[in-house]
Structure formats: C-alpha cells, structure tokens
Structure 1
Amino acid sequence: MKAIVGVADMKVSNNPEESIITYSLGSCIGLVIYDPVVKVGGILHYMLPESSIDKGKAAQRPYMFADSGIPRLFKTAYKMGAVKQRLNIYVAGGAEILDQKGFFNIGKRNYMALKKMFFKNNVMINKENVGGNTNRTVRIEISTGNIYVKTSGSKEVRI
C-alpha cells in the first residue's frame, strides 16, 4: 500500500503494510524520519524555508514551510511512539532546477533552514542527497525502514 505525500504535505505511519513516497523533489526538501524500534516513519515535503513570508498561507498549509512543517512531522511521530534519539533521518532535494544561476537559491535556503533548526534541537542527519540540479523521488517502507531514492533518468536505489 502506497501513501503519497504531495507538495506541501506530510504523512506519518506505523502501518507495516505501508510505504510512503514523495515525487519530484526539486528545490523542495523531502525530510524522512524513522524510528526502527516502534517502526514509525514519515515524510514531509516542504517548499519554502520560512513561514514569515506568508502568515496566512502558513496557517492554512503549515507543511509548505520548513519552520512550521518540520516540528509537526516530529511531533506526529512522537505521538505514535517515536523517540528523538532513535530516529534515522534522511534528507533529499534542495536542488536548483529552474534557477540554474542560483539567483533565488530556494533549494539551498530550504536546506539551510532545516540545518539551522536541527542544530538548535540537537538533531543529526544520517544520510542526505541534496543540491545539484536533478529531481528526486523518495520512498520509505514502514516495515523495514528502508529508504529508496530515484533521481531523474536513473533507477530507484536503496540508501
């Protein structure tokens, strides 16, 4: 069973039959967390670093922004029994797709917002696949915690 995480969306599950996937991470970030003890995993697909640029939109769609989406991802997983110290964390995306010259640097800014928040909260990233200029698709299997990534023009690989 596949649960799809759209743009500016999030899903957390403890259903071993489920696999969560998010497609076409360009400058967006796909943040994957997984607790192997209780087998709780989730993906957040956020678009922008800071909700302060549009408070109204942030209230309606908190998963659109790093600073409002990331805490919700973690808190939802904690409610399902996940423990911060046990989490495996994978980050993908943050590419410069439409902005090859780096004028807006949305991908980089999205990634830096996450790094800053993680640093403040003493959270470590286990693996990442960020930057460059390719789209990525990320999938996690809830039963195993296996994470797969597919970049444009290549096969899906387990990381």
Structure 2
Amino acid sequence: MSNADHLAGRELERIARVILPGAWAVEKERPIATLLGSCVAVALYDPQVGLGGLNHFMLPEVSRLSGRADVDALLAGNYAMEALLNAMLARGARKSRLVAKAFGGGMVVSSLDRSRIGQRNVEFTREWLERESIPLVASDFLGNCSRKVVLEPRSGDVFCRRAPSSLAVSRQIDSQEQAYAERLVTERKRSDIELF
C-alpha cells in the first residue's frame, strides 16, 4: 500500500460507519468499516450504481430452529450474506453486476483457534460466492493477524490494514464478540417468554 493509499484509508476510517459482529450496512456515500479477527467481512459492490455494502459474521452457518427467534442467525454467514445481498438489491443493485471482496479468518483469539473457525468462515465465503455466481475479485484471508477493513462505497475500493496479533487487539475483538453473544442470549431469553 502506498503512502497516499494509507492516508486515504485513514481518512475514510475516521468518517466511516462502523459495523460490529452480526451487522451489515449498505451505503452510497459514507464509508463502512469493521475490525476482524476470525470473523469474515464481505464487501459487495455494484459499479453501475456506485453502491457498496459490507457485512461481518462470526460463524459459517447456524441452523434456524422452528419457533425460535432469528437473532442467533445474525451470527452466521448464511444469514449475513443473504441479508447483505437483499439489502443491495433493494437499493438498486443487480446481482449480475455485483463483485465481491472478502477479508478475515485470522487466528487472533486463542479459544477459537482450536475450532478452525477462521478457516471454516473462509471456506463458507468462497463457496457461497461461487454458488451465487458473484466473482471474488480480491481477498485477504487467514494468518495470525487482525484486520481493519474500510469500504469506500462510491468506488468499491477496500482498504485492509493488517495488525499483528497482540493481547490488546485480541481482547478488543474478543470483547466485541462476547458482547454480541451476550446480547443474543438476552434476546433469546426474551423471545422464550410466552405472552397470553
């Protein structure tokens, strides 16, 4: 990355809409950013309408149980990819014009390393994009690093800054993922209450 690209990425990061695990966003003007460990973020871009979207998911798939709230599905790639694709289409994108860039799957949280969650997320991402016939034109996967990803939706450019795995970064990522998981548990408990 050149110095000019580095400065441009830093400026975009400063004004970006930040998404956390389980979230996605679609924008025409405002950059979108996220911080990744073993999670994966996929950016979709339609060059004809200058529209970009980014998601952030923690697991490849979560089966939906009948009668249960779908909040736990937000963790999963199968839900996050469909949600992002549908949001792009609703804003005027066409599937036949979409291109993808994907990032993440790093091994930065030691408790997740044993389950190969990063590798599974990467495999899911490649398979999903291939199945949907959306070309993956750029990627930065795996390794022992975290990534700060910033999508510039007008051009489809994505800036990815790798950071060596450190205790501080691992704790920040782990904290975000734990907070998200706790929120899901709270939502699930609320959905289990029957009102009559």
Q: TM-score, normalised by structure 2?
A: 0.69
Q: 1:52 to 1:101 in 2, by over 3 A?
A: closer
Give the match for residue 32 of structure 2: 20
Alignment-mate amino acid for residue 133 of structure 1: N
Any conservation in 1 of the 2:25–2:32 contact (CA below 8 Å)? yes
Deviations 1:57-77 (A, max 9, x none): 870143310111101101100
| Alignment of structure 1 residues 132-143 onto 2, 5 Å | 132-143=143-154
In proportion to residue count, which structure has more strand?
1
Give the match for residue 24 of structure 2: 10
Q: Please tell me the root mean square deviation across aligned C-alpha atoms, in Å.
A: 2.3
Range with bigger deviation, 78-87 or 125-134:
78-87
The answer for unaligned runs of 5 or more in structure 2 is: 1-14, 165-196
Give the match for residue 157 of structure 1: none
Give the match for residue 49 of structure 1: 60
Q: Secondary structure at the match of 2:121?
A: helix
- The alpha-carbon deviation at position 37 of structure 1 amounts to 1.1
Deviations 1:57-108 (A, max 9, x none): 8701433101111011011001111112222211100112234995210000
Any conservation in 2 of the 1:28–1:107 contact (CA below 8 Å)? yes
Q: 1:84 to 1:101 in 2, by over 3 A?
A: closer
Range with bigger deviation, 44-53 or 99-108:
99-108
What percent of counterpart residues are identical? 26
| Alignment of structure 1 residues 58-137 onto 2, 5 Å | 59-99=70-110, 102-137=113-148
Deviations 1:90-127 (A, max 9, x none): 11001122349952100001111122222222222100
In proportion to residue count, which structure has more helix?
2
Q: Secondary structure at the match of 1:152?
A: strand
Q: Are residue 146 (structure 1) and residue 168 (structure 2) matched? A: no
The answer for unaligned runs of 5 or more in structure 1 is: 154-159
Any conservation in 2 of the 1:47–1:65 contact (CA below 8 Å)? yes
Large movers: runs of 4+ above 4 Å? 53-58
Any conservation in 2 of the 1:45–1:63 contact (CA below 8 Å)? no
- The alpha-carbon deviation at position 43 of structure 1 amounts to 0.7
Q: Are residue 32 (structure 1) and residue 46 (structure 2) matched? A: no
Q: 1:89 to 1:11 in 2, by over 3 A?
A: same
Matches of 2:116 and 2:20 in 1, distance apart? Answer: 22
